[in-house]
Amino acid sequence: MESASHGPQSLLVVDDDKPFVTRLARAMEVRGFTVRVAESVAEAVQEVNREPPKYAVVDLRLNDGSGLDIIDALHHARPDARAVVLTGYGNIATAVTAVKLGAIDYLAKPAEADAVHRALVADTEERAALPENPMSADRVRWEHIQRVFELCNRNVSETARRLNMHRRTLQRILAKRAPR
């Protein structure tokens, strides 16, 4: 017999923003999930190894590393688990990596509990609708810069060299918010 936290509605919420994780955990409990919370990569991986949950909501950037490590550990421990990645630093490269590691969706923070719940329980066979507003040229450029930056392990000098761009120009671009 499965334990309560390993059951069909077990959920691991991982985020280092204490107020956010508390609100999301409560909202998911109301929706019928048995929720466990972790605030770091190390704590989350330990929880996954102890009792792999059926569902997970994982912040991409945590104080001690990347949420992608948690997605990878969860996928190895329980291949049928459904994980959603949350981030305030969305870009195409990390979204693709998250999906390759086993995430089923990628949401921008602050995500509402309804959106998280829909992503967790959505039919994976259903195709997502095409966006009504495609990305602007500025957004595509920003996404490309972010992708190269991630490929260069977040090294500004190497990224600037590969993009044939002045380092200070790149730093200014990286400091700004993503264009719409």
145-170 per-position pLDDT tens digit:
888 888 888 899 999 999 999 999 99
Q: How is residue 168 written in tokens? A: 């200070």
Mark whether 15 and 40 lie in a shared domain.
yes
Would you say residue 15 lies in a domain?
yes
- Euclidean distance between CA atoms 140 and 136, whole angstroms: 6
Q: Within 13 Å and on the Cβ side, how many CA atoms surround 37? A: 16
Q: What is the DSSP letter of 3?
A: -
Mark whether 93 and 167 lie in a shared domain.
no
Would you say residue 8 lies in a domain?
yes
- Euclidean distance between CA atoms 29 and 9, whole angstroms: 10
pTM of the model: 0.66
Owning domain of residue 26: 4-121
Mark whether 141 and 70 lie in a shared domain.
no
Would you say residue 127 lies in a domain?
no
Mark whether 89 and 52 lie in a shared domain.
yes
Mark whether 33 and 110 lie in a shared domain.
yes
36-82 per-position pLDDT tens digit:
999 999 999 999 999 999 999 998 888 888 888 999 999 999 999 99
Long-range contacts of range 135-139, CB-CB < 8 Å, 24 or more positions apart? 136/179, 136/180, 138/179, 139/178, 139/179, 139/180
CATH code for position 145 = 1.10.10.60
Number of domains in the chain: 2
Would you say residue 36 lies in a domain?
yes
Would you say residue 40 lies in a domain?
yes
Mark whether 52 and 98 lie in a shared domain.
yes
Mark whether 75 and 19 lie in a shared domain.
yes
